[in-house]
């Protein structure tokens, strides 16, 4: 039986800001939001990358604008918020997807490497949640975490620690910002992005091992991660908050 009052899994008409939205998973989410009819501002530190994704979003006939953002700088995030409110009339959805890949083993990692990774991957999420949380009357925040919060990889102490922190921050923010704002996270598994490069190329032995262990038989495209973001940002997820949704093709559940 159809219930016409049931909310749909779409973000049409919503006003979204995607931090780290010019490459990789963030760009995939920005594209999916725009294709679904949301107004989208996608941002990062790179002026060139921001211009490129903004031109693409304009072709989707949605409201957008060019603005850079450095998540290590609170003033930069505040400027992004002000531009978003002025351009879109408000913000309904915030996605935190800024990335950093300064990897080293625990014994070799410098204080500067640790501080940079944690500042971008964890403290940046805190700043954005706080700055936008104060401006959003209602809506949804989606943080991009990682399977690596639980599936530990070598030479990634700062990355794994920061993503574990994102999961905890997501749950804490969900409590503090309720009931007006829902806060959830996505924990992707292996994804084809610019940063994954040759390591996940189809001809690499690492890729073959991953495909064999993954029940769905392949690593994800960014569009497959974006689907989870659309759901969490949509009204269909109106009773979902404080959750970390793993999107890894079953990798974490496989004993192969």
Residue 19's Cβ-side half-sphere holds a number of Cα atoms within 13 Å equal to 35
State the Cα–Cα distance between residues 8 and 34, nearest whole angstrom: 16
State the Cα–Cα distance between residues 79 and 85, nearest whole angstrom: 10
Residues acting as catalytic residues: 159
**At CB < 8 A and 24+ separation, what contacts does 236-239 make?**
236/6, 236/7, 236/8, 236/9, 237/140, 237/182, 237/184, 238/7, 238/182
């Amino acid at each position: 039986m159809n219930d016409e009052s049931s909310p749909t899994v779409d973000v049409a008409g919503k006003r979204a800001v995607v931090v780290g939205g010019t490459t990789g998973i963030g760009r995939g989410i920005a594209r999916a939001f725009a294709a679904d009819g949301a107004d989208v501002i996608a941002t990062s530190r790179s002026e060139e990358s921001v211009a490129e994704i903004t031109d693409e979003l304009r072709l989707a006939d949605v409201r957008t604008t060019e603005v850079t953002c450095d998540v290590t700088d609170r003033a930069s995030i505040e400027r992004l918020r002000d531009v978003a409110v002025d351009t879109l009339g408000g913000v309904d959805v915030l996605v935190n997807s800024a990335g950093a890949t300064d990897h080293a083993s625990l014994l070799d990692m410098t204080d500067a490497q640790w501080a940079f990774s944690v500042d971008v991957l964890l403290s940046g999420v805190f700043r954005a949640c706080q700055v936008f949380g104060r401006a959003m009357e209602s809506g949804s925040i989606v943080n991009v975490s990682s399977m690596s919060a639980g599936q530990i990889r070598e030479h990634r102490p700062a990355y794994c620690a920061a993503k574990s922190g994102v999961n905890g921050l997501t749950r804490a923010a969900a409590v503090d910002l309720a009931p007006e704002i829902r806060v959830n996270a996505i924990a992707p598994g292996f994804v084809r992005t610019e940063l994954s490069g040759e390591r996940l190329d189809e001809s690499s032995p690492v890729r073959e091992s991953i495909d064999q262990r993954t029940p769905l038989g392949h690593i994800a495209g960014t569009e497959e991660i974006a689907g989870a973001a659309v759901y969490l940002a949509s009204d269909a997820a109106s009773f979902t908050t404080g959750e970390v949704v793993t999107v890894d093709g079953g990798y974490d559940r496989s004993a192969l």
